[in-house]
């Protein structure tokens, strides 16, 4: 199979750049990150986040975790 980053590996649909909401539920906190850049499949709705964005997310989640609040909602 030819690797084409514009096509969804799950269904072969076309991926569109957009934003999504990422949420994690850890121990005592729920962290919600809004406005996360992602590629979204127009056919099945699957979302992909690139490495750079994922690194940024990791830092946001780590900072939010330190605050120990029950819910954190952050826009990226």
- Residue ranges that bind Zn ion, judged by CB under 5 A: 8, 10-11, 13, 41, 43-44, 46
Nearest distance, CB of residue 67 and Zn ion, angstroms: 36
Which of residues 6 and 59 has its CB atom nearest to Zn ion in the complex? 6
Q: DSSP readout, 15-53?
A: EEEEEEEEEEEETTEEEEEEEEEEEEETTT--EE--HHH
Which of residues 29 and 43 has its CB atom nearest to Zn ion in the complex? 43
Residue (of 50, 53, 70, 72) closest to 61 by Cα position: 72
Which of residues 5 and 69 has its CB atom nearest to Zn ion in the complex? 5
């Amino acid at each position: 199979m030819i690797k084409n980053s514009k096509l969804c590996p799950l269904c072969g649909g076309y991926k569109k750049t957009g934003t999504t909401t990422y949420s994690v539920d850890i121990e005592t906190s729920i962290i919600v990150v809004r406005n996360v850049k992602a590629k979204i499949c127009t056919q099945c709705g699957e979302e992909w986040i690139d490495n750079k964005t994922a690194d940024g997310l990791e830092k946001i989640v780590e900072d939010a975790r330190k605050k120990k609040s029950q819910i954190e909602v952050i826009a990226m």
